[in-house]
Amino acid sequence: MNDLGISAELQAFLRQHKWHNAQIVALKTDASQRQYYRLSQNERSVILMDARRSAVGETKRFQRIASHLFAQDLSAPQIYGADHDLRALLVEDLGDDLLSGFWAKGAQSAYPIYQKAVDMLLAVQASDPPAFLAQPDAQDLAVMITPAFEFYKGSARVEADQSALLAALTDLLAAALQSAPVLALRDCHAENLLYLPARRGAACVGILDFQDAFQSHPAYDLMSLLQDVRRDIPANMEAGLIAYFVAQAGLEARAFQRAYAVLGVQRNLRILGVFARLALQENKANYLVHMPRVWRYIQRNLRAPGLQGLKALIDAEFPSPANLNWTV
């Protein structure tokens, strides 16, 4: 175990829950500060979440949100053991059938699985969100794009009026965020969702990585799912699943599409900054390959009615990734 970086404290945690003799395999992580391990013994397996490098309280939030999702008969991992002071959890192993795997045969193969993921989001949003979740307002969401100002830049970057951009984005977000808030998983994409065909209804889609959930507009998670920064989802697939979601939820299509576009600008600008930070500060140059796609999402969202002024401010502040020279 020590060869895999399992500390004495984690070993004691595993011993307490009788998993200290298990075979252990480190699982691949993405941009997370958490490390995950699969423990196997006696034809059973669990996942060890080591969140010691993450924020205080993260494992407790994970457990509280998981409890809420359990109550809705949804497939968040069950919690088998927790030490919140150590920031360690033993959770249910939901397997490896990530939605990302269904792209091997193209969009036609992925579409029905994604429709099941949309059904899961509808089920998540069918009940009131937990009161303990933060509910960022329009200004809070606008300020979340700060990493784009801090890290997404090049030597030829023209300094523009950041305050004007933030004010314009805040106004647009305030106008869009008129629906009652729902639980937004926040990092809802193909690497955080699994297909569980043995389970019925919305429970056939397993949910991972939701400890940063907050309360937001119903469009937030759908936009996160369909504007996937790691793969191109065909425009007709995105449009079809948006229409399906709107119809099933009984929402007004035009207002929903506007909120979807504004939130898409906000989230993707933030992602540009986060990916730039990962590349520049953590030598993770692999994130640079996704930036052109993220930039395309931003530009596509900015074509929505009423966003022309914001587009002018963004284009003045941020160059296209194609015009930046990265030294990593």
Reported as a single tens digit per residue, the pLDDT across 293-308 is 999 999 999 999 999 9
Architecture of domain 99-323: Alpha-Beta Complex (3.90)
Which residues, other chains included, contact 175 with Cβ-Cβ below 8 Å and sequence gap of 6+? 258, 262
Kindly report whether the global pTM for this prediction surpasses the value 0.85.
yes
Confidence of residue 17 (pLDDT cuts 50, 70, 90): very high
Asked whether residue 326 carries a pLDDT value surpassing 80, the answer given is no
Identify the sign of the CA torsion 176, 178, 179, 181. Answer: positive
Residue 1 confidence (pLDDT) above 60? no
Residue 155 has pLDDT above 50, yes or no: no
Per-residue pLDDT at 147 exceeds 70: yes
- CA-nearest of 273, 239, 275 to 257 is 239
Domain limits, CATH 3.90.1200.10, in the chain:
99-323
pLDDT digits (tens, 9 = 90+) for 191-216: 999 999 999 999 999 999 999 999 99
Question: What's the pLDDT at 55?
Answer: 81
Among 27-36, 167-176, 312-321, name the one with the lowest average pLDDT. Answer: 27-36
Q: What is the pLDDT of residues 164-175, one digit of tens each?
A: 999 999 999 999
pLDDT band for position 106 (cuts 50, 70, 90): confident
- So what's the pLDDT on residue 34? 86
Fold of the domain spanning 2-12+21-92? Phosphorylase Kinase; domain 1 (3.30.200)
Residue ranges, CATH 3.30.200.20, the chain: 2-12+21-92
pLDDT, the chain, mean: 92
